[in-house]
């Protein structure tokens, strides 16, 4: 069964206090959904139209598990903590194996 991944890119992070509130809620929600953080806020080398800001990659045992974790009540509470107008490029993708 192919794994599932959350991939988030944050073009701008202006309200770090509210982002910290989101992180505090999102971490337990991700773990409860079976997610494992593979990368979060480390160094980025961007090419072409890439963005060098914060990137987060989270792995799940399956695509279905990744989608269910996003829809979970716990994660939806975390999303509500994001600042108004917060910008991120978030995707749930299916791995190759």
Distance CA 19, CA 14 (A): 9
Looking at CATH, the fold of the domain delimited by 4-94 is given as: Alpha-Beta Plaits (3.30.70)
**Band of pLDDT at residue 43, cut at 50, 70 and 90:** confident
- Whole-number pLDDT of residue 46: 85
**DSSP codes, 24-85:** HHHHHHHHHTT-EEEEES------TT---S-EEEEEESSHHHHHHHHHSHHHHHHHHTSPTT
pLDDT tens for residues 52-85?
788 899 999 999 999 999 999 999 999 998 877 6
59 or 12, which is more confident? 59
SS3 (DSSP) at 88: coil
Domain segments of the chain: what residues? 4-94
Distance CA 13, CA 87 (A): 8
0.95 surpassed by pTM: no
């Amino acid at each position: 069964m192919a794994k599932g991944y959350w991939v988030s890119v944050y073009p701008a992070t202006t309200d770090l206090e509210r982002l910290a509130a989101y992180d505090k809620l999102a971490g337990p929600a991700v773990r409860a959904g079976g997610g494992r953080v593979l990368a979060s806020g480390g160094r980025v080398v961007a090419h072409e139209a890439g963005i060098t800001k914060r990137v987060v990659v989270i792995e799940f045992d399956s695509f279905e598990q990744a989608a269910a974790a996003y829809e979970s009540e716990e994660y939806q509470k975390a999303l509500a903590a994001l600042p108004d107008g917060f910008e991120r490029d978030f995707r749930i993708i299916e791995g190759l194996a």
